Amino acid sequence: MKYQNILFDIDNTLINSADLIAKLLKEGAVREGVDMPIEEYRKRIGQPGEMILREFGVQNWQNVLARYLIEFNENMNEITYFVGVEQMLDDLLAMNLTVGVVTSKDRVQFDKEVSHFPIIAKMPIVTTADLTKNPKPSGEPITYTLERFNLARERTLYVGDSIFDMQASKNAGVDFVVAKWGALPNVDFNNAKYQAKTPNDIVESVKYLV
C-alpha cells in the first residue's frame, strides 16, 4: 500500500461538532459585546478558538473559552461520530495502518471534548495545538507529528474537512484527503489529492493505492 499513516482532523471530520462549536463561540462573543454572523464562525472552524475570537476582536477571549468548555461538555449529547467513521477507523487499524489525530484543540480541550469518543481518546498519536508554536493552517502540527512518531512524509495522508486542513497538509508536504461529508459545500478543494464522499471511500482508496 502507498500510505501507511493516516492522520485525521477531529471536528467535522470524525465527529459532527462544528455547528455546536460555532454556536457556542458566537454566544460567548456576543456576551462580550462582539456580534458576528454565525456563518463567519462556521467557516473558520478548523482554527483554534482563541485565534477565531481574537480575529473578531473579542478582548476577554479567555473567559469565553473557559465557559465554552463547560457548555460544550453540557451539550455533548448533540455530537456523534459521522456515520461510517467508527467502521472506517476499525478497518484502517485492521489493515495494520498507523492512525492518529492532529487537531486545533489544545490538550485540555481534547481531553474534555473527546472523553465521550473512546476511539479518538485512545489513539496512540495525538497532536494538540499547544505542542507547536503555530497551529493549522501552518504545517507545524503535521510536521511535528511526522518527526515525533517517525512517520514517513510520503507515506502519510492527512484527512480533514476545512481549507485550513488542506493548507496545513500542503505546508507540511503531505497528501490531503477532504472529508466531503463534513466540509462546507462552497469551499474549493480542487487542490486536494483525494476527495472522499464517505468514510469508506478512504478505506477503499488506501487499500488499492500502490
CA distance 120 to 143: 20
pLDDT of residue 207: 87
- 129-142 pLDDT, tens digit per residue, is 999 999 999 999 99
- 68-95 pLDDT, tens digit per residue, is 999 998 998 899 999 999 999 999 999 9
DSSP characters over 69-137: HHHHHHTGGG--BPTTHHHHHHHHHHTT-EEEEE-SS-HHHHHHHTTT-HHHHT-SEEE-GGGSSS-TT
pLDDT of residue 210: 60
Global confidence as pTM: 0.91
- 23-75 pLDDT, tens digit per residue, is 999 999 999 999 999 999 999 998 899 999 999 999 999 999 999 999 998 99
Q: Residue 14 pLDDT > 90, yes or no?
A: yes
pLDDT of residue 113: 85
Q: Residue 148 pLDDT > 90, yes or no?
A: yes
